[in-house]
Amino acid sequence: MLIIRPIRASDYDALYGIAVESGHGFTSLPVNEELLRSKIARAEASFIKHVDKPFDEGYLMVLEDMKTNEVVGTCGIEAAVGMEDAFYHYRLGTEVYHSQQISVRNEVETLTLCHDYTGAAELCTLFLKDDYRKGNNGRMLSRSRFLLLAQHQHRFGETVIAEMRGVSDDHGDSPFYEWLQHHFLGIDFVEADYLSGLGKKAFMAEMMPRNPVYVCMLPKKAQKVIGEVHKNTKPALRLLQAEGFKFRNYVDIFDGGPTVECSIGDIRSVKKSRLLTVSIGKMPHADHHFIISNTSLADYRASAAKLLVFDEHDNVVLSPEIAAGLMVSDGEQIRVLAM
């Protein structure tokens, strides 16, 4: 049985291993002991914190194989980005130049540095080990976050975003970043991405171009990847698009990857999830897979199972094993979402 739960201090070694395995471009998990331990401590505090409105909480979770007690994946949600550290994007826009005198009209794409997503919730830190990338494991891990959003909406920003990894090669080099490195920053992509992951972002404000950048003046290979995702990220993007997430012309400042967004109440899985009351016993035969979670926060648990669910009533039978994994008792509620 695979269970998603809040991360805890004893998961440090597993988290460090995932940070190493995830490689270049996975900004939210830099290979840095101090930062990773800080992320764990911040998550532990966030899951027990009283919240009236979202601020800077971070809900980092792990996927655990209960047979082996091995942590095999991660997923997370930032409650409201940019509240303490600046949260940068490029906004794609258009400037129009028109001269009636010479009968010429030009539209020029621009990139403008901005903080427009300050206060938005962010889906982040999604990673699954290779051996577990099968069946519905990846879909369950990713979409389980929507059950947490649905159950605890007041803890998250009204807009939910996801930064999609942009195009880079096997060495971590980004064609979009090359022009920025050459003309402005002077450090390579891997170092800049690493510093950003550490939260050391002062260099961005100091060195990034302050005026809009004309896209047509970038190298062709840089222009080509603006708004494009890394080949390994395409399945994750398709999943989010199916949930209602859309690209609104915001891209990452380093690799040009797209940021997609959706209002929390418009996310398909948030709307489609429902609460059911648990009876513990022998589960009847069922053909349909569901993502299931308890309604707790500090003891949040989520998993997947075949359930017999009816539209006409709000009861469901769970086996003692699944109920124990989800930390629910007879008569308590769970939240379910059809896979």
Catalogue all structural domains in the chain, each as residue range(s) with its CATH number.
2-89+114-269 (3.40.630.30), 272-338 (2.40.40.20)
d(CA 160, CA 181): 30
What tokens were used for 152?
Answer: 């605890």
d(CA 117, CA 245): 15
Q: Work out the percent of the chain whose per-residue pLDDT is above 90.
A: 64
Lowest mean pLDDT: which of 73-82, 177-186, 194-203?
A: 194-203
Write down the H helix ranges in 198-267.
202-207, 220-224, 234-242
Residue among 148, 124, 147, 1 at smallest CA distance from 63: 1
What is the distance, to the nearest Å, from the Cα of residue 273 to the centroid of all Cα atoms in its chain?
19
Lowest mean pLDDT: which of 20-24, 32-36, 69-73, 126-130?
A: 20-24
Q: Work out the percent of the chain whose per-residue pLDDT is above 70.
A: 94
User: What number is the average pLDDT over the span 232-244?
Assistant: 90
Count of all residues that appear for the chain in the document: 339
pLDDT tens track for 56-111 = 999 999 999 999 999 999 999 999 999 988 888 999 999 888 888 888 888 999 99
The 3-state DSSP class for residue 166 equals coil
**Contacting residues for 294 by C-beta, under 8 A, at least 6 apart:** 300, 301, 302, 326, 327, 328, 332, 333, 334, 335
Residues with catalytic annotation? 230
Q: In the prediction, which pLDDT does 181 show?
A: 78
Q: In the prediction, which pLDDT does 145 show?
A: 95
Q: In the prediction, which pLDDT does 303 show?
A: 96
The answer to whether residue 202 scores a pLDDT higher than 70 is no
Q: In the prediction, which pLDDT does 201 show?
A: 63
Q: In the prediction, which pLDDT does 25 show?
A: 54
Residue among 80, 71, 68 at smallest CA distance from 19: 71
The partner residues of 214 in beta bridges, in order of sequence, read 110
